[in-house]
Chains A and B, each alone.
Chain A
């Protein structure tokens, strides 16, 4: 059983979360705390596998708790918070900078409704996080072969796709902040997120990104130098006229939006002029899509194991032979800058 510590100042929320997890059969609530200080006292005693914490609490808040835990006794942390942002500085994704791994929307509505709709998803997130080793990086057991990085003979990309799941927001921030300037292609970016956190994600990424980041509008032609995110619970596709389409087609590999759906639709329209980047995450979404890009003659990149929070989707892509480049996250911006920034002659 996976042992979890729940931290929230609302007794009602603690009850709802406990009941959401009671059905899972794999997650047990080892303890609850009403604020950061109480949680800090409990962590050494309970040794939880995962901590789920609210951000806004009287006394020691969630940000301070995450900071202290990650500096003194690292443990995977899931932030459970509402969508509401009071101002730009109060952003749920700021918790990721302090070392939290993922975010989950705080249940709203009645207890029964929350148990039914959110319980399995919350338990799944906690299971993924329980397998993550925070901070200490695992060593690469069997180095997977990465092909040599040759630019010669490659079609310059006209579209870039980036896909990520658990650990993705942190990796995206590293990549976007590492770009020397705007790419000269559009960027389609699919990040698996629970609930409707895309607006928060954009607000958190935008200050470090040299390109505007937007939610895609149906029917719009993607513009060079703009990053597009999907609408909540929609696939983000390139249709055969080259325009963006939000689609309610069934989930692919368990996800909507699906990284594979975006990658495959981009490869269908742009062919060899497609560049796909598959980042950290659990499961296999994105692997088939990256393979579609590689088969179309495009360029494919996967984030390596050592810099991935979860080496799952990228491992699957590597297993399929879909990843031409296996790179640490810090080097992906360099590759994008080299391939997808066309300097116009003077």
Chain B
């Protein structure tokens, strides 16, 4: 499914406190033709979105001070941003309670982070309009 994913200049905001994860995911998305904006935690992400609303958000779950779940809740509570799909990711198993927490927070999807990024890209292709 992700093999047909094309960015066509659409903007993805990546929120992750790991420099390595930001690097790996942003390079992959850029090669697919997306424009990438990065943030190191949820508060930072919301500030960047105010300046330029992205087409989708991919966020890590565990970040300080504002984590992925809280980022998603705040985004969904803001009428200007509520339409933006959010994909929450973590390295945990997809069947764990994290998936349920993500959906409760209003996320479009939950995806486990693997080395090949496939689950994240599949979730993104489903979530994008």
Contact = CB atoms under 8 A, between A and B. Distances in A.
Contacts, number: 51
B117 A268 contact: yes
Contacts of B24: 261, 264-265, 268
A240 B32 CA distance: 10
Give the one of B18, B31, B115, B117 with max A CB within 10 A. Answer: B115
B92 to A, nearest CB: 12
Contact of A296 (B18, B19, B23, B115): B115
A20 B26 CA distance: 37
A267 to B, nearest CB: 4
Contact of A271 (B18, B19, B20, B115): B115
Interface residues of B, number: 15
Given A247-B27, A249-B27, A293 B20 contact: no
Contacts of B117: 268
A338 interface: no
Interface residues of A, number: 24
Contacts of A250: 19, 22-23
Contact of A288 (B18, B26, B31): B18
A288 to B, nearest CB: 5
B23 A253 contact: no
Interface in B4-37: 18-20, 22-24, 26-28, 31
B20 A296 contact: no
Contact of B20 (A240, A247, A260, A295): A260
Sort A-B residue pairs by CB-CB distance and give the 10 closest, nearest first. Answer: A296-B115, A267-B115, A252-B19, A252-B20, A260-B20, A249-B23, A292-B115, A288-B20, A264-B24, A268-B115
Interface of B: 18-20, 22-24, 26-28, 31, 91, 114-117
